[in-house]
Structure formats: C-alpha cells, structure tokens
Amino acid sequence: MAADFAASVEAGQIWVAVDSSDLVGYVVYYPDGAAMHLENVAVVPELAGCGLGRRLIGHVESEAVRLELAAVELYTNAKMWENLDLYPHLGYDLVERKAQDGFDRIFFRKRVG
C-alpha cells in the first residue's frame, strides 16, 4: 500500500482509536457522490477480534447517515479472505468482483440512508 496518510489527515478523513495514549486503530473514509467511501480500516493485531474494527466501521456508517448519504461503499482485495465474511455479516452486499490496478478486488455496499 502507498497510502498518503498526511493528506488524509489534512483532509479530515481519518478517525483514530486510542487506548491511553497509544494508537490502536484507525479508519479512513470520505464522501464520494451519494455514498461514503470506506478506504481503509485497521486495528493493531493484539486487539483483533475484540470488535474495535466493527466500531470504527460503525462510525463511518454514522457519519454517512449524518451527512444524509445513501450508502457506504468499499472494496477489498480478494486475498484478504477474512473481509469476505466480515462485510456481509455487517450488512454489506457484494456488488462486483473485478481486476483493477493489478488487484483482484471485491466491491461491497451497504445502504444506510
């Protein structure tokens, strides 16, 4: 990944989770037309499975509702098999699977508005 986190921070597109003073997770998101685009969500490995990632995704969904957007959209790499079960469990519908920019990507969408 070659994410430009400085630009995302400057644009106000990152929400972070902090435990005491330690960064334990983050989510990158931004409005894209009538939907909120969920760009990236990550949690430190020690907290995997505790629900923090789901809470970060929930924040994105709440922001989409607050901004009166119709949906949250995202894509994941097909090799990230954990995501392929997680997103449908959270109410996301598989929209499309295609090769893009050299990656096998799977696109999901959840109506929130």
Give pLDDT tens digits along the chain (113 positions): 456 667 766 766 788 888 888 889 999 999 999 999 999 999 999 988 889 999 999 999 999 999 999 999 999 999 988 888 899 999 999 999 999 989 999 999 999 97
Tell me the two tokens of residue 33: 């037309």
The per-residue pLDDT for 3 is 61
Q: What is the topology classification, in CATH, of domain 5-111?
A: Aminopeptidase (3.40.630)
What is the residue type of 44?
V
Strand positions, DSSP E, 20-113: 22-32, 35-43, 71-77, 93-100, 103-111
What is the residue type of 10?
E
| Torsion angle, alpha carbons of 62, 64, 66, 69, to 10 | -150
